[in-house]
Structures are given as C-alpha cells and as structure tokens.
C-alpha cells in the first residue's frame, strides 16, 4: 500500500477511536451509579472514629477526614461538610440517609444527573453519585418537592437526601472526580 493510503487509514482509525471514546464518555453519564461502582480507595485516618468530634461545636469538621477540597459525610451524624482549599468549610448541613449506608472510606464522584426519579419513586434533582452498596447506587440528591422524609425501611435505597438549597450547593461543588470522604 502506498504511504499516502496508509496515512489515510491511520487517520480514519484514529478518528474512529476518538469517536468511540467520546461516545463511551457520554454514555457513562447516564449509567446507573451501581454499575460502575467504585470502592473506597483508602480508609479514613485513624483519628476519624465517631463524629461529632467536638461536643461544643457539633458542626465542626471531623478530625482525620482528609485534606484538600472534598465532601465529608458522617454516617453516624447524618451530616455533610463541603470543604474548600486550606480545609475551610464552605457549608455544612444535615441530611436524611437512605436505608443503605456507604462503608467508611475515600471515594470520588463518579456520575451526576440533573433530574431523575429516585429508587423510592420520588422525583429528585442534582444527583451526585459516588459509590454503590448492597446493589444500589449511593449518592446525594434533593427531592424536587423539597421533602427530606425518612425512607421506607422495607426498601433498599442509597439516596442521601438534602434540602433543595443544600442540593444546589452540592451540585455546584461536587463535580465528577471530586473526593468524597465517608466517616463513621
């Protein structure tokens, strides 16, 4: 084959591979969170035992919850901290967990959806998924109607519900790849 034909074939193959990569990336945005389930990459620091760490300041960021910009979620306290540069807490708020809790550890945001229907049938917005547990996707979301009621204990749900205002803040802060630290 002449060298110009080989160059054309190489160019076509390269273009095809780039197109496949772009389509795969776009398709991954719509994949349920539990299909590409991530595992905790590390455990929280040894000092991260049970929140709140400071009884006089229950909203204080848990010691040993990592460094850098991140989301910190305390399973025991049903509380979230959005942590900016220099360990500065941008926002903290209470949440209503689903019936399935993520294991303590360090995760990353793997997918997001602007609006979907939750596993409990409730329309939700600003879904930020970071792992899966017991066959369900686990992530933060806000009910479109603003409700944060406790989930049906007979259903396995991984949605950690926030108010709509807190959901807006989470949506802006927790982009794909953002670290999520889960502490007990």
Q: What ranges do the domains of the chain cover?
A: 1-30, 33-183
The string of DSSP codes covering 56-102 is T-TTSPPTTS-SSSEEEEETTTTEEEEE-GGG-EEEEEE-B--SSPP
| Sign (positive or negative) of CA dihedral 93, 94, 97, 102 | positive
Rounded to two decimals, what is the model's pTM?
0.72
Looking at residues 101-107, what average pLDDT do you find?
96
* pLDDT, position 121: 85
* pLDDT, position 96: 94
CATH topology for 33-183?
Answer: L,D-transpeptidase catalytic domain-like (2.40.440)
Label residue 104 by pLDDT band (50, 70, 90).
very high
* pLDDT, position 3: 55
Label residue 168 by pLDDT band (50, 70, 90).
very high
Mean pLDDT, the chain, rounded, equals 80
């Amino acid at each position: 084959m002449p060298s110009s034909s080989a160059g054309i074939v190489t160019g076509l193959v390269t273009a095809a591979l780039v197109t496949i990569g772009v389509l795969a990336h776009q398709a991954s945005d719509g994949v349920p969170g539990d299909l590409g389930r991530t595992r905790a990459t590390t455990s929280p620091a040894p000092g991260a035992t049970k929140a709140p760490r400071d009884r006089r300041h229950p909203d204080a960021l848990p010691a040993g919850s990592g460094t850098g910009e991140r989301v910190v979620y305390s399973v025991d306290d049903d509380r979230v901290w959005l942590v900016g540069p220099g360990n500065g807490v941008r926002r903290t708020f209470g949440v209503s967990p689903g019936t399935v809790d993520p294991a303590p550890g360090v995760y990353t945001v793997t997918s997001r959806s602007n609006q979907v229907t939750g596993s409990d049938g409730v329309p939700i917005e600003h879904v930020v998924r970071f792992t899966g547990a017991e066959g369900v996707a686990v992530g933060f979301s806000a009910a479109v109607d603003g409700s944060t009621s406790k989930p049906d204990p007979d259903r396995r749900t991984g949605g950690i519900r926030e108010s709509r205002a807190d959901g807006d803040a989470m949506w802006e802060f927790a982009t794909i790849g953002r670290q999520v630290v889960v502490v007990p």
